[in-house]
Amino acid sequence: MIDYLEIKTDADCLFVVNLLNYAGIPLRKVRPCEGGCRMWIPSEDGKKALALLADNGKVTVVCKDKTVKKYLRRNFLRFGLWAGLVFAVILLVFYSAQVTRIEINGLQNLAETDILQAVNALYEFPVAKKDIERKEIVKAVTTLDGVASCAAEIKGNTLIVTVYEELEKVPVPDKTDFTDIVSSYDAVVTRIIVYSGTGLVKKGDTVRKGQTLISSDVKLDETLIAKEKPLGDIYGRVWITKTVVISETVLVRKRTGRTETRVSFQKEIEYKGEFADYDEEVSEFFLPSVVPLKMYVHTYYETATVEEERDFSENEEAIVGEYFAEMESSFPAGSVALDKWYDVKRLDKNLTLELYYEIETKLNS
Amino acid sequence: MNGFYNEMLMRMGLPADQTVGVKITVCDLCGVLVEGHKGLLGCSAEEISLRVKKKKLVIRGKNLLLLEITPDEAYIKGKIFAFEVEGDD
């Protein structure tokens, strides 16, 4: 408790408390003790309380004096304390006048290191606040690619750089190109949206590859025709076919049974043996020495390509699925698969597999 | 505090003009604030007595300490066991 006096009197608690309270003096931590009682009183009321108790013939002793004056008097000659305080104040003042870290906000696509490099090129941190020119930082950051604008402010010991990135550039269509939009496939039109130009087909029309779908000619009146960049989206049903000849034999790589083994400390080594075609397997083990050393065993299996008979009817589903998957991977982006089927034709030695896929896709891709 | 006190009086259906004067607030049975006391009548670690109006308020407990006492308020700390009001109506 600061600015309080602890006193001890030889009087009874009740007497002291009521006497001092009657005089308007508040008391704290009142507790009876051997031969009287102890309590804390505010230092400003100290003299008054002591006089009152003396007037009533009570012996009072001040046990602890925690007044501010006393405290200052006691610590006045503690030079180490004052020196420490002064040093702490100087340190705080010096530290508060420095910028020690950078915080970068607002980044979405740009790398933080680019911004940091631009700022560090101007100043070497820590740097005094008064030496920082915020306009210079803004100028340096704004010159970077992808930065639209920038703001720099100092809060405490932190330099906060807020970056506003440029918006993504939208591709602007070249409106001076008057080439007609033509179909890329033989198809049946399912949807047509014309933004500019004249649409020459409608839903349900059959179109051939290379046929004009949207013309650049726009009729202004009966006789006047103007040119306009044709823009639009035309979708249609397209049938894609693929013919595959399937042999009843298939080439397979098989191990011949001959092997070679090499032992090395390295996991990857270059093979310099007599096998032209081989498979490699690597296993590891530790040498049973004092220090366990890791070794690798490289086993090379000679392989050869051999012809193997294949029964199409047994693997029909898998073979057809494989070729359909191949076709799907070549579809234009945004296509929707509508239907698929296949047909098998038997020749003398081989089989011919005809695959059909019906898709809806953009015709003017 | 005043709002809470008035609300309490209202809920108990007591007349506000006759019930002002003494307020006793107990905090979790380990602290008591007595407002409007008229003096200390007894003080020990097991029992602290205060004069309230023309009666005697006895607070019984364990390790009781008169933490702060002013002419109007008394803060008592310790384990509270009982309150008792002695005196005629």
Helix H or strand E encompassing A318? helix A316-329
Residue B11 forms part of a structural domain:
no
Instruction: Give the residue, A55 or A71, on which the prediction is more confident.
Output: A55
| A236-280 pLDDT tens trace | 999 999 998 887 777 888 999 999 998 888 888 888 888 889 999
Task: Give the other-Cβ count within 10 Å of A365's Cβ.
Answer: 13
Nearest to A17 among B40, B44, B67 (CB): B40
For the domain made up of A98-165, give the CATH fold: Ubiquitin-like (UB roll) (3.10.20)
Chain A residue with minimum CA distance to B39? A18
Average pLDDT, chain A: 88
pLDDT at position A228 is: 86
List CB contacts (< 8 A) between A28 and chain B: 67-69
Cβ pair A353, A319 in contact under 8 A: yes
Q: Could you say which DSSP state residue A35 is in?
A: T
Predicted confidence at residue A290, as pLDDT, reads: 65
Residue A169: the pLDDT is 81
DSSP state at residue B57: E
Least confident of A19-28, A83-92, A311-320: A311-320
Predicted ipTM > 0.85? no
Domain that holds residue B28: 21-86
Residue A30: its chain B contacts at CB < 8 A?
A: 43, 65-66, 69
| Class of the CATH-defined domain A4-73 | alpha beta
**Residue A12 to residue A286: CA distance in whole angstroms:** 89
Residue A204 phi, psi dihedral angles, 5° rounding = 100, -15
| Residue A174 pLDDT greater than 80, yes or no | no
- The amino acid that residue A355 corresponds to is L
Please indicate, yes or no, if residue B31 is contained in any of the structural domains.
yes
| Domain presence at residue B13 | no
Q: For residues A191, A192, A195 and A200, what is the CA-based torsion angle, rounded to 10 degrees?
A: 180
CATH number of the domain enclosing B65: 2.60.40.2000
What is the count of structural domains for chain B?
1
Q: Does residue B5 belong to any structural domain of this protein?
A: no
Please state, as a whole number, how many other Cβ atoms lie within 10 Å of the Cβ of residue A217. Answer: 15
Q: Which residues in chain B (46-85) have CB-CB distances under 8 A to chain A?
A: 65-71
How many angstroms separate the CA atoms of A36 and A55, rounded? 17
Determine whether the interchain pair A13/B40 forms a contact, defined as Cβ–Cβ distance below 8 Å.
yes
